[in-house]
Amino acid sequence: MIATEKVSKVYQIADGEFYALKDVSINIKDHEFVSILGTSGSGKSTLMHIIGLLDRPSSGKVLIDDKDVSLLSDSELSSLRGQAIGFVFQQFNLIQKLTVLENILLPTQYVKGKLGFDAKKYAMELLTRFGISEKANIYPNRLSGGQQQRVAIARALIMKPTLVLADEPTGNLDSKTGEEILKLLESLNEELGVTVCIVTHDKNVAHRTKRQIFVKDGQIVAKY
Protein backbone atom coordinates (compact mmCIF):
# COMPACT_ATOMS: atom_id res chain seq x y z
CA MET A 1 0.00 0.00 0.00
CA ILE A 2 2.71 2.49 0.96
CA ALA A 3 6.34 1.96 0.13
CA THR A 4 9.62 3.82 -0.11
CA GLU A 5 12.32 3.10 -2.65
CA LYS A 6 15.86 4.12 -1.72
CA VAL A 7 14.65 7.21 0.08
CA SER A 8 17.33 9.54 1.44
CA LYS A 9 16.95 12.77 3.33
CA VAL A 10 19.96 15.06 3.37
CA TYR A 11 20.26 18.21 5.45
CA GLN A 12 22.86 20.87 4.74
CA ILE A 13 24.70 21.58 7.94
CA ALA A 14 27.71 23.73 8.85
CA ASP A 15 30.32 21.05 8.06
CA GLY A 16 28.75 19.60 4.95
CA GLU A 17 25.86 17.21 4.46
CA PHE A 18 24.01 15.14 7.04
CA TYR A 19 22.08 12.05 6.02
CA ALA A 20 19.03 11.77 8.31
CA LEU A 21 17.91 8.87 6.09
CA LYS A 22 20.01 6.89 3.66
CA ASP A 23 18.59 4.57 0.98
CA VAL A 24 15.59 3.52 3.04
CA SER A 25 13.30 1.02 1.32
CA ILE A 26 10.33 -0.22 3.28
CA ASN A 27 6.94 -1.59 2.34
CA ILE A 28 3.85 -1.38 4.52
CA LYS A 29 0.96 -3.47 3.25
CA ASP A 30 -2.74 -2.79 3.64
CA HIS A 31 -4.16 -3.69 7.07
CA GLU A 32 -0.72 -4.13 8.55
CA PHE A 33 0.16 -3.18 12.12
CA VAL A 34 3.85 -2.24 12.19
CA SER A 35 6.24 -0.27 14.33
CA ILE A 36 9.36 1.67 13.47
CA LEU A 37 11.85 1.21 16.27
CA GLY A 38 15.04 3.15 16.82
CA THR A 39 17.04 5.25 19.21
CA SER A 40 16.69 8.98 19.52
CA GLY A 41 18.00 10.78 16.45
CA SER A 42 17.99 7.62 14.33
CA GLY A 43 15.62 9.20 11.77
CA LYS A 44 12.25 7.70 12.75
CA SER A 45 10.30 10.95 12.61
CA THR A 46 11.99 11.95 9.39
CA LEU A 47 10.92 8.68 7.79
CA MET A 48 7.39 8.98 9.18
CA HIS A 49 6.99 12.51 7.75
CA ILE A 50 8.02 11.25 4.34
CA ILE A 51 5.62 8.29 4.48
CA GLY A 52 2.89 10.66 5.66
CA LEU A 53 3.48 12.92 2.62
CA LEU A 54 4.41 15.81 4.90
CA ASP A 55 8.00 16.06 3.66
CA ARG A 56 9.83 15.40 0.42
CA PRO A 57 12.76 12.99 0.25
CA SER A 58 16.04 14.36 -1.11
CA SER A 59 16.21 11.35 -3.38
CA GLY A 60 14.31 8.13 -3.90
CA LYS A 61 10.61 7.50 -4.39
CA VAL A 62 7.51 7.20 -2.25
CA LEU A 63 4.82 4.96 -3.70
CA ILE A 64 1.18 4.77 -2.70
CA ASP A 65 -0.65 1.86 -4.31
CA ASP A 66 2.33 1.65 -6.68
CA LYS A 67 1.90 5.27 -7.74
CA ASP A 68 4.80 7.69 -7.41
CA VAL A 69 3.51 10.47 -5.13
CA SER A 70 5.84 13.06 -6.67
CA LEU A 71 3.54 12.91 -9.69
CA LEU A 72 0.44 13.80 -7.69
CA SER A 73 -1.10 17.28 -7.81
CA ASP A 74 -1.34 19.49 -4.75
CA SER A 75 -5.04 18.82 -4.33
CA GLU A 76 -4.54 15.02 -4.64
CA LEU A 77 -1.74 15.15 -2.06
CA SER A 78 -3.83 17.36 0.23
CA SER A 79 -6.81 15.07 0.13
CA LEU A 80 -4.59 12.05 0.86
CA ARG A 81 -3.14 13.90 3.86
CA GLY A 82 -6.54 15.04 5.03
CA GLN A 83 -8.65 11.96 4.47
CA ALA A 84 -6.62 8.82 3.82
CA ILE A 85 -3.89 9.41 6.37
CA GLY A 86 -4.23 10.26 10.04
CA PHE A 87 -0.97 11.66 11.39
CA VAL A 88 -0.12 11.97 15.08
CA PHE A 89 2.87 14.28 15.51
CA GLN A 90 5.48 13.66 18.15
CA GLN A 91 5.11 17.35 19.12
CA PHE A 92 1.31 17.20 18.68
CA ASN A 93 1.23 20.38 16.54
CA LEU A 94 -2.13 21.61 17.72
CA ILE A 95 -3.14 25.13 16.72
CA GLN A 96 -3.01 27.10 19.95
CA LYS A 97 -5.63 29.62 18.79
CA LEU A 98 -8.23 26.90 18.27
CA THR A 99 -10.08 25.02 20.98
CA VAL A 100 -9.64 21.28 21.44
CA LEU A 101 -12.82 20.58 19.52
CA GLU A 102 -11.90 23.03 16.73
CA ASN A 103 -8.49 21.38 16.43
CA ILE A 104 -10.05 17.94 16.14
CA LEU A 105 -12.53 19.17 13.52
CA LEU A 106 -9.89 21.02 11.49
CA PRO A 107 -9.37 18.22 8.92
CA THR A 108 -13.13 18.14 8.19
CA GLN A 109 -13.06 21.82 7.17
CA TYR A 110 -10.92 21.06 4.16
CA VAL A 111 -13.08 18.27 2.76
CA LYS A 112 -14.56 19.33 -0.55
CA GLY A 113 -18.05 17.93 -0.79
CA LYS A 114 -20.15 16.35 1.91
CA LEU A 115 -18.95 14.45 4.96
CA GLY A 116 -20.69 11.09 5.32
CA PHE A 117 -21.05 11.42 9.08
CA ASP A 118 -21.68 13.85 11.92
CA ALA A 119 -18.12 15.01 12.58
CA LYS A 120 -18.89 16.93 15.74
CA LYS A 121 -20.67 13.99 17.29
CA TYR A 122 -17.81 11.68 16.35
CA ALA A 123 -15.27 14.13 17.79
CA MET A 124 -17.14 14.15 21.10
CA GLU A 125 -17.24 10.35 21.05
CA LEU A 126 -13.47 10.21 20.63
CA LEU A 127 -12.95 12.75 23.42
CA THR A 128 -15.23 10.74 25.69
CA ARG A 129 -13.39 7.55 24.87
CA PHE A 130 -10.11 9.32 25.71
CA GLY A 131 -11.55 10.66 28.95
CA ILE A 132 -11.16 14.36 28.10
CA SER A 133 -14.67 15.27 26.92
CA GLU A 134 -14.85 18.10 29.47
CA LYS A 135 -11.88 19.76 27.76
CA ALA A 136 -13.63 20.18 24.42
CA ASN A 137 -13.86 23.96 24.57
CA ILE A 138 -10.51 24.63 26.17
CA TYR A 139 -7.39 25.87 24.38
CA PRO A 140 -4.54 23.34 24.05
CA ASN A 141 -2.10 25.33 26.21
CA ARG A 142 -4.34 24.55 29.20
CA LEU A 143 -3.87 20.81 28.71
CA SER A 144 -1.25 18.47 30.09
CA GLY A 145 1.14 16.80 27.65
CA GLY A 146 -0.75 13.53 27.77
CA GLN A 147 -4.07 15.29 27.19
CA GLN A 148 -2.63 17.15 24.21
CA GLN A 149 -1.38 13.83 22.85
CA ARG A 150 -4.89 12.38 23.03
CA VAL A 151 -6.28 15.46 21.23
CA ALA A 152 -3.66 14.92 18.53
CA ILE A 153 -4.75 11.29 18.20
CA ALA A 154 -8.42 12.29 18.03
CA ARG A 155 -7.58 14.74 15.23
CA ALA A 156 -5.77 11.96 13.37
CA LEU A 157 -8.81 9.69 13.65
CA ILE A 158 -11.58 12.19 12.87
CA MET A 159 -11.61 11.53 9.12
CA LYS A 160 -11.67 7.74 9.66
CA PRO A 161 -8.43 7.29 7.70
CA THR A 162 -7.25 4.00 6.22
CA LEU A 163 -3.67 4.65 7.34
CA VAL A 164 -2.76 5.92 10.80
CA LEU A 165 0.80 7.10 11.38
CA ALA A 166 1.56 7.79 15.02
CA ASP A 167 4.90 9.27 16.13
CA GLU A 168 5.49 8.16 19.73
CA PRO A 169 1.77 7.94 20.52
CA THR A 170 2.42 6.77 24.07
CA GLY A 171 5.48 8.92 24.70
CA ASN A 172 3.78 11.29 27.10
CA LEU A 173 1.34 8.92 28.69
CA ASP A 174 1.41 6.91 31.90
CA SER A 175 1.42 3.17 31.36
CA LYS A 176 -2.33 2.87 31.91
CA THR A 177 -3.37 5.55 29.43
CA GLY A 178 -0.61 4.39 27.09
CA GLU A 179 -2.08 0.91 27.24
CA GLU A 180 -5.52 2.28 26.34
CA ILE A 181 -4.12 4.08 23.32
CA LEU A 182 -2.32 0.93 22.20
CA LYS A 183 -5.55 -1.06 22.61
CA LEU A 184 -7.40 1.54 20.58
CA LEU A 185 -4.82 1.33 17.78
CA GLU A 186 -4.98 -2.47 17.93
CA SER A 187 -8.75 -2.46 17.65
CA LEU A 188 -8.62 0.04 14.77
CA ASN A 189 -6.37 -2.43 13.00
CA GLU A 190 -8.20 -5.62 13.91
CA GLU A 191 -11.82 -4.48 13.73
CA LEU A 192 -11.72 -1.81 11.02
CA GLY A 193 -8.73 -3.03 9.04
CA VAL A 194 -6.94 0.29 9.35
CA THR A 195 -3.24 0.18 8.50
CA VAL A 196 -1.39 1.35 11.59
CA CYS A 197 2.25 2.34 11.79
CA ILE A 198 3.71 3.62 15.03
CA VAL A 199 7.10 5.11 15.78
CA THR A 200 8.62 4.25 19.12
CA HIS A 201 11.91 3.91 20.93
CA ASP A 202 10.27 1.48 23.39
CA LYS A 203 10.82 -2.24 22.61
CA ASN A 204 7.78 -3.23 24.68
CA VAL A 205 5.53 -0.97 22.67
CA ALA A 206 7.10 -2.21 19.44
CA HIS A 207 6.42 -5.81 20.37
CA ARG A 208 2.68 -5.11 20.54
CA THR A 209 2.78 -4.71 16.74
CA LYS A 210 2.95 -7.59 14.32
CA ARG A 211 6.12 -6.41 12.61
CA GLN A 212 9.03 -4.19 13.58
CA ILE A 213 11.21 -2.08 11.32
CA PHE A 214 14.54 -1.18 12.89
CA VAL A 215 16.16 2.16 12.07
CA LYS A 216 19.71 3.00 12.99
CA ASP A 217 21.57 6.14 11.91
CA GLY A 218 19.14 6.71 9.10
CA GLN A 219 19.30 3.20 7.74
CA ILE A 220 17.14 0.09 8.01
CA VAL A 221 18.84 -2.70 9.89
CA ALA A 222 17.78 -6.34 10.26
CA LYS A 223 17.59 -6.19 14.02
CA TYR A 224 18.97 -4.47 17.06
Partner 1 sequence: MNYFVFQIKTALSNFGRNKVRTVLTSLGILIGVLSVVILIALGLGLRNFIQGEFDSLGSNLLFILPGDVIGDDGQFSGGGGGGVISTSFDERDVSSLRSRINAEFIVPLYTSNARAQAGDITKSADVFASTQEAFTLFNFEPESGDLFNESDVTKRSKVVVLGNAIAKDLFGEPSNAVGQTVRFSEQRFKVLGVLKEEGGGNFGGPNFDRGLFIPYTTSFVTINTDRKFFAIYVRGSFEQDVEELKSQIERALLRRYDEDQFSVVKQTEVLNAIQSIFSIINTVLLAIGSISLVVGGIGIMNIMYANVTERTKEIGIRRAVGATKKDILFQFLTESVLLSVVGGVLAVVLAALIVAVVQQFFPLALDATAVLVALGISSAIGIFFGVFPARRAANLTPIEAIRYE
Ligand X SMILES: Nc1ncnc2c1ncn2[C@@H]1O[C@H](COP(=O)(O)OP(=O)(O)OP(=O)(O)O)[C@@H](O)[C@H]1O
Residues at the contact surface with ligand X, assessed by CB under 6 A: 11, 13, 18, 20, 38, 40-46, 90, 201
Measured between alpha carbons, how far is residue 205 from residues 8, 87, 209 in Å?
26, 18, 8
Identified binder of partner 1 from the candidate list 33, 87, 122, 130, rule CB under 8 A: 87
Identified binder of partner 1 from the candidate list 1, 3, 10, 54, rule CB under 8 A: 54
**Given the DSSP bridges, would you call strands 67-68 and 59-64 parallel, antiparallel or unpaired?**
antiparallel
What DSSP string describes 86-125?
EEE-TT----TTS-HHHHHHHHHHT-SS--SS-HHHHHHH
Q: Which of 222, 223, 219, 224 is nearest to 25 (CA)?
A: 219
Identified binder of partner 1 from the candidate list 25, 93, 128, 144, rule CB under 8 A: 93
Nearest to ligand X of 40, 175 (CB atom): 40
Contact present, 19 and 10 (Cβ < 8 Å) = yes
- Smallest gap from Cβ 186 to ligand X, in A, equals 22
Q: Per CB under 8 A, does 152 bind partner 1?
A: no
Contacting partner 1 within 155-174 (CB under 8 A): 155, 159
Distance CA 155, CA 116 (A): 17
Which option in ligand X, partner 1, Mg ion, none does residue 115 bind, with CB closer than 5 to 8 A by kind? none
Identified binder of partner 1 from the candidate list 82, 140, 146, 178, rule CB under 8 A: 82
- Smallest gap from Cβ 125 to ligand X, in A, equals 30
Measured between alpha carbons, how far is residue 212 from residues 127, 168, 202 in Å?
29, 14, 11
Q: Per CB under 8 A, does 49 bind partner 1?
A: yes
